[in-house]
Amino acid sequence: MALDKPIADYETVQTWRGGLSEQWGEEPDMTVRTSALERFCEFAGKDPDVLIAECTREVESGKRIRIKARREFSEKIAEFQAASGGSAREQQKLGNTIRSFFIHNGIFMQAGLSG
Amino acid sequence: MEFKEIIGRRRSIRFFDPKRPVEREKIQTILETARLASCAVNAHWLRAVVVERDKIPPEKLNQLKTPVAALTLDLAPVHIYFFVDLGIVNKIKGSRLKELVDVGALAPSHGWSHKFVDDFVYPQILEPMTRNLEGYVPAAFADAGGAAQNALLAAFDEGLGACLNTPNPMLTKQVLGVPDDWLPMWVMLLGYPAESWEAGGQRPRPDFEELYFEGEYGKPFKRDPAVVEKLKAANMIQAPAPLPGRREEIKKLTEELGLPE
């Protein structure tokens, strides 16, 4: 699935960048990160904003996380990293890059030690 | 370690060294402290099931994971599941209260006797209380919580790190096979910290006067700066988070353990 604009222009990618910058106190190099996310978007068949939007829903009291969608994307990330080739460490790092995108967009996600 | 310093050093530790086991002796010491906690009517609601991460079948470990605590369950080598035994009051029927009379902890000077327990305390107060779940359950939990707090502090006294988490009630009961009348309270994750003992510094707390009052609500209990200084000298009140270098520490742990940034 081709994105309809440069990945850095998606609001959720900007939120991710802002979150990393705030967390680590320095401007993050997004090249490798966005390249990994772009591959995941291709894998999932959705653009970055849709990935996040599908994990949440609006209710009267505010925003809620869709548990089922969050779990499905968590599994999708595990599939993605397993299918990516490379060493276990590299696979884990790739998966964690995608998890970081979700986390900084407010979608709670943990990898576990097994990645 | 001195008591005040243990209070001061306690933090919720979330980065454990996953490969360093916890000595059985230390686990027992922690449980022993819970057993000696103050306890209403000497009932002892707190129960615990100790789970060693590497000894429990992986499928059971996965069932015990919650979305928020999945990683820490992987990191901590020991998980102590605390339960509240709601059935205990009607099993002991005041007998442990009478033990307190026998050993002189409760005396006639304060109105206590076996007959008072048998005729009044159990049948008219305790047994009816167990039928009023709205009042009974929070009271039992509060009591058990105090005992678990002893255990938590003991972990730090033993040089370990610990963190309390809320388990999934249904799955925890099912996986650990506890009796029906035990309700899950907390899981205390236990291990040697992978982070420094400071863990970034003492966590932010609400202002003292916002929490405590004198005589009546609305009149804050005045905090004496001299006492604060004394507690600082005793290492109870410590440097607040974030300590310099915390961000770098988290980054290093994140890389070493292979976690998301």
Residue-range definition of the domain harbouring residue A83: 8-104
Tell me whether residues B258 and A24 touch, CB distance under 8 A. no
Q: Is residue A72 part of a domain?
A: yes
Residue range B111-136, pLDDT digits in tens: 999 999 999 999 999 999 999 999 99
Number of domains in chain A: 1
For domain B3-194, the question of CATH label 3.40.109.10 is answered with yes
Q: SS3 of B65, please?
A: coil
Q: Is residue A114 part of a domain?
A: no
Tell me whether residues B67 and A114 touch, CB distance under 8 A. no
* Structural tokens at position A81: 């990293």
Rounded to whole angstroms, how far apart are CA atoms B106 and B42?
11
Q: Is residue A75 part of a domain?
A: yes
Q: Which residues contact A32 (CB under 8 A, 6 or more apart)?
A: A97
Q: Is residue A23 part of a domain?
A: yes
Q: Is residue A115 part of a domain?
A: no
Nearest CA in chain B to A70: B67
> What sign does the CA torsion over B91, B184, B149, B222 have?
negative
Q: Model-level pTM?
A: 0.92
If one compares B146 and A110, the residue with the highest pLDDT of the two is: B146
Residue range B197-216, pLDDT digits in tens: 999 999 999 999 999 999 99
Q: Which residues of B touch A113 (CB under 8 A)?
A: 18, 71, 74-75, 257-258
Rounded to whole angstroms, how far apart are CA atoms B189 and B14?
9
Of B70, B71, B251, the CB nearest to A24: B251
Q: Is residue A112 part of a domain?
A: no
Query: What ipTM score was computed for the predicted complex, to two decimals?
Result: 0.85
In contact, B77 and B191? CB cutoff 8 Å: yes
What does the pLDDT read at residue A114? 53
So where are chain B's domains? 3-194
Q: Is residue A47 part of a domain?
A: yes
Q: Is residue A27 part of a domain?
A: yes
A20 burial (CB, 10 Å; 0-12 / 13-18 / 19+) is buried
Nearest CA in chain B to A95: B260
